[in-house]
Structure 1
Amino acid sequence: MSDIREKEVKSVSGIPLLLILLALTIVAILAFVAIDMSKAMRIAVMVIGVPILLIAFSGLYKVEPNQSAVLSLFGKYIGSVRTPGLRFNNPFYTKKKISLRVRNFESGKLKVNELDGSPIEIAAIVVWEVNDSAEAVFNVDSYESFVQIQSEAAIRSMATSYPYDQHEADQISLRSHPMEISDRLRHEIQDRLAKAGINVIEARISHLAYSPEIAGAMLQRQQAGAIIAARKKIVEGAVGMVEDALAELKDKDIIDLDPERRAAMVSNLLVVLCSDKATQPVVNTGSLY
């Protein structure tokens, strides 16, 4: 594929030329009506003059703000004009308008397998713009369709490279690191769209969920993980409280416990502190031993 890059071509302001052409048209009409000519002469003037005026008018074209006009002559790229307003160039140039405005593309919900093999649903929003009108016109068949297809392909590729949930402290996952994932997605899409003269401004995930067939099972797994983590914190806190209680009893010489009674006290305290329900105390009215 030939490497065609955008290059600027000079154009003439079209307003003065439009006024000149309109004046010539009026003069030609008045002369055609006023001057006494033969029928053959009138036909010759019409056959020659009208096409010339039409061709001259066809050299005028309008360029809106944030728009580029790509000019080509018989299939050869001449250059691009970004100067807004009414412009004039060679009437035989083919002029194709390309919008340079920022645009959004939102993919549909794509079903892919993440790094661990679990099926997920993912969708993303891509903010993009054309920064090279020549590449957008000549390097790809339809740059808008190209953006859509390549963006969805990049989303699929990125989703298969990361797990849905974080399993290790330093692991990047789709759900726990949105900034890193968005940056990786933007670069992934940019690499695919660079040949079409497209600049990807932003890409971010708009929808992320497990597929419906496994959503219930994954929710139970997440709940179990949350319960285990909470219990671990409770046990760690309870052990510390028991250690502090035994150390304080010993330091203040309140009671001297043998190993058996010490173990029983530790067990009772852990049961009370780690239980998720209110405990019922049992009062010992007899001797401790």
Structure 2
Amino acid sequence: MKEKRAWYVNGFLALFFIIVLLTGAVWLFFMNMELALPLSFVFLAFLLSTGMTMVQPNQAKVVIFFGKYIGTIRDSGLFLTVPLSVRKTVSLRVRNFNSAKLKVNDIEGNPIEIAAVVVFKVVDSAKAMFDVDHYEQFVEIQSETAIRHVATKYPYDTFETEDISLRGNADIVSEVLAKELQERLNVAGVEVIEARLTHLAYSTEIASAMLQRQQAAAILAARQKIVEGAVSMAKMAIEQLDKEAHLQLDEERKANMVNNLMVAIISDRGAQPVINAGTLY
């Protein structure tokens, strides 16, 4: 199915013509004319009245004539279309769908909770009406299916690599989700405007363990930065002493100095130096 334009004319002109027909029927009846002519006027007015329809802004009327799709009226106002036809309303407004919190496994098998909001609108009323049953429910089911599928393609978080993750690359994941949703909803004549993650967390049964893992990874990364800085500072200190203070240190003293600097910089607590005041003898 593909949307096409239905036949329709200005409804106010049609309403005026219906009133003229009814007025003419009454006048002919009181003029003692044959009953067939006034009844034909009344029947014609009734037939035209069955084609009157009103379209609200950002709505469409799908016109069906004895089981055949005639077309769609997208303009708002009062119109006269094919008499004896059925007109079904399809909303063209932008709508939101908030998915429930879904419990799925990421690509590493970790159970997570994920939810998203999908912003969509109908762009083809014929597909939305005839190609799927209840396109609103179709959007909801396909949205949850796409969210589950996307969640299984990426890990929740990456601690050692810079690969795409659900937590660290929310924008990329949202783009992938919107693209997959659009492919699924094309059959329903629906355009996906935006898809964003609204909730992402580990499941309760592993949340505490994963929190400890994140803390350990953060501590390890911090320690690595501290060690790199300590090595750089110790090297710089020795080079400046050799260059500016003209101190000739042997390898053993350099090793002791580096050891003391590393301990002072890397230690969690403030260093407490021991002052050598000399010996009694």
Fold shared, TM-score > 0.5 on shorter chain: yes
* Match in the other structure for 1:196: 188
Supply the distance in 1 between the matched residues of 2:214 and 2:43 (Cα, whole angstroms): 76
The answer to which of 82-91 and 130-139 deviates more is 82-91
Q: 1:162 aligns with which of 154, 159, 162?
A: 154
Equivalent positions of 1:17-166 (< 5 A) are: 17-29=14-26, 31-32=28-29, 34-35=30-31, 52-166=44-158
Cα deviation for residue 213 of structure 1 reads: 1.2
Q: 1:255 to 1:285 in 2, by over 3 A?
A: farther
Q: Is the 8 A contact 2:8 2:82 kept in 1?
A: no
Equivalent positions of 1:227-242 (< 5 A) are: 227-242=219-234
Q: Is the 8 A contact 2:54 2:77 kept in 1?
A: yes
Aligned length: 279
Residue deviations 1:245-287 (CA, integer Å, cap 9, x gap): 1112222355433333322221111110011111211101127
* Match in the other structure for 2:178: 186
Supply the distance in 1 between the matched residues of 2:129 and 2:14 (Cα, whole angstroms): 28
- Aligned residue for 2:100, secondary structure, equals coil
- Aligned residue for 1:261, secondary structure, equals helix
* Match in the other structure for 1:261: 253
* Match in the other structure for 1:11: 8
Cα deviation for residue 168 of structure 1 reads: 4.9
Supply the distance in 2 between the matched residues of 1:180 and 1:10 (Cα, whole angstroms): 45
Q: Could you tell me the percent identity over the aligned residues? A: 51
Cα deviation for residue 35 of structure 1 reads: 4.6
Supply the distance in 2 between the matched residues of 1:166 and 1:49 (Cα, whole angstroms): 78
Residue deviations 1:178-230 (CA, integer Å, cap 9, x gap): 21111100011111100010000110101111111111111111111111111
Cα deviation for residue 91 of structure 1 reads: 1.1
The answer to which of 200-209 and 15-24 deviates more is 15-24
Supply the distance in 2 between the matched residues of 1:168 and 1:68 (Cα, whole angstroms): 53
Q: Is the 8 A contact 2:55 2:61 kept in 1?
A: yes
Supply the distance in 2 between the matched residues of 1:48 and 1:78 (Cα, whole angstroms): 27
RMSD across aligned positions (CA): 2.1
Amino acid across the alignment from 1:172 = I
The answer to which of 132-141 and 210-219 deviates more is 210-219
Give the structure-2-normalised TM-score: 0.92
Structure 2 unaligned runs (5+)? Answer: none
